[in-house]
Amino acid sequence: MRRIPFFVLNAFTDTAFSGNPAGVFLNAEQLTPDEMRQLAGEVSLESAFVLPGNDGADLSLRYFTGTAEIPFCGHATVSAIAALAKKKRVRQKKTLRVRTPVGVLESRVEISHYEMGVAFNVTAIKESINVTVVQKLPEFGAALPPEAIAEVAAALGCAPEKIFETGLPVQVVSTGSPFLFVPVLSPAEVEAAPGALAEIARLSRRWDALGFYVFSYSHNRHGSPCYRSRCFAPAVGLDEDPVTGSASGALGGYLVQHRQITPDSHSGIARMVVSQGHGGSRYGLVDVLVETQNEQMVRIVIDGSALLIAEGMFTLP
């Protein structure tokens, strides 16, 4: 019998039942790709499967939903590293080399503890697991023509001018997983329910994207611009992804590319925060750092917390 340990974590939050849930499966070298897909479907979560590293990598990850393998998943990466740290399989503050289908990425984890307060003379201590992941640099597709943008707007149930008036392109951007980036004028358009998920799936396939990533500037948070977003990916079995790490990093690259956020003149670093999950009951925050040199992007980093909420064991023949 094969024994496959699994974990469920909430990523980009330190509060249970918020953020983005992910499955993490160990001993994945015992599984076929189809079994990985079936296990992701069994827990109904985007999931990371942990395999041994090779060629200098500390470990390898593959990512599945219940319907397909996907090239990269930010929140599942954060969850996998957090689960391994929680189980003392990786060391804190050590830079890890993580092999993924899109290349070898660097990650780092730190566990801290802090007091929650005192009740009945008892001090509650809460644990925070923070993970950073360096993403690959973004690739930008061509801007969609006006007639295609009108189709995108119709699928979202959004007036086309709410997209056109941003002055920003609608285009596929990828730091490993391609999404169609759709800027809208205000958070109100982000929060509106999509008009037709089947049409979003059709158009996503047409533009070789996993889904639509809809975003708008929201406000400043601790001196950094904060953007509100939602992600719809019915083409890969996710009507809505609560907090999308891979697209958050790509959004940082998109905003620097189109001069919506400006790197610091001395450090060359631009920072921002992505606030996602407002369309449903879940909510999370992703910190994004874009590093530039000579006006060229050289590094994109996402940063967020993860909370272990469940663990168990699958027993397979």
Q: pTM for this one?
A: 0.92
Task: Let me know how long the chain is.
Answer: 317
Q: Is pLDDT larger for residue 170 or for residue 223?
A: 170
* CATH code (residue 220): 3.10.310.10
Whether 312 and 265 map to the same domain: the answer is no
- Judge whether residue 121 has pLDDT over 60: no
- At 220-251, the pLDDT tens digits run 988 899 999 999 999 998 999 999 999 999 99
For residue 316, CA distances in Å to 39, 66, 67, 99, 265 come to 11, 17, 20, 26, 56
CB 286 within 8 A of CB 300: no
Instruction: Please determine, for residue 119, whether its predicted confidence score (pLDDT) is greater than 60.
Output: no
**Shared-domain flag, residues 105 and 143:** no
Q: CA 191 to CA 303: how far, in whole Å? A: 24
Same domain for 310 and 298?
no
Q: Do 26 and 143 share a domain, yes or no?
A: no
Average pLDDT over residues 296-315: 96
Rg of the chain (C-alpha set) = 19
Count the domains in the chain.
2
Q: Do 148 and 90 belong to one domain?
A: no
pLDDT band at 194; cut points 50, 70, 90: confident
What are the structure tokens assigned to 121, written together? Answer: 């003379």
Distance CA 231, CA 250 (A): 13
**pLDDT single digits (tens) 65-112:** 999 999 999 999 999 999 999 999 998 888 999 999 999 999 999 987
Output the six-digit token pair for 62: 């593959």
Residues 178 and 109 in one domain: no
Q: Domain check: are 127 and 143 in the same one? A: no
Burial class (CB in 10 A: 0-12, 13-18, 19+), 50: buried
| Least confident residue range of 30-39, 215-224, 266-275, 301-310 | 215-224
Same-domain pairing of 68 and 19: yes
Q: Is the pLDDT of residue 113 over 90?
A: no
Nearest Cα neighbor of 21 from 69, 76, 82, 63 is 76
Q: Which domain range does residue 78 map to?
A: 2-131+306-316
Both 56 and 160 in one domain: the answer is no
pLDDT at 115: 56
| Mean of all residue pLDDT scores within the chain | 93
Answer yes or no: do 178 and 268 share one domain.
yes
Quick one: pLDDT at residue 122? 53
At 195, the pLDDT band (50, 70, 90 cuts) reads confident
- The reply to whether 297 and 311 lie within a common domain is no
Non-local CB neighbours of 4 within 8 Å, separated by 6+ positions: 25, 26, 27, 28, 30, 31, 39, 313, 314, 315, 316
Instruction: Give the pLDDT mean for 179-201.
Output: 93
Predicted pLDDT at 123: 53
Is the pLDDT at 117 greater than 70? The verdict is no
pLDDT by residue (tens digit) across 123-139?
Answer: 555 678 999 999 999 99
Q: Is 114 left (phi over 0), alpha (psi -120 to 50) or beta?
A: beta
Do residues 202 and 289 both lie within one domain? yes
Residue 120: pLDDT over 60:
no
What is the Cα–Cα distance from 132 to 49, expressed in whole angstroms?
18
Q: Is pLDDT at 3 greater than 80 in this prediction?
A: yes
pLDDT of residue 83: 96
pLDDT digits (tens, 9 = 90+) for 43-54: 999 999 999 998
Q: What integer is the mean pLDDT of 249-265?
A: 97
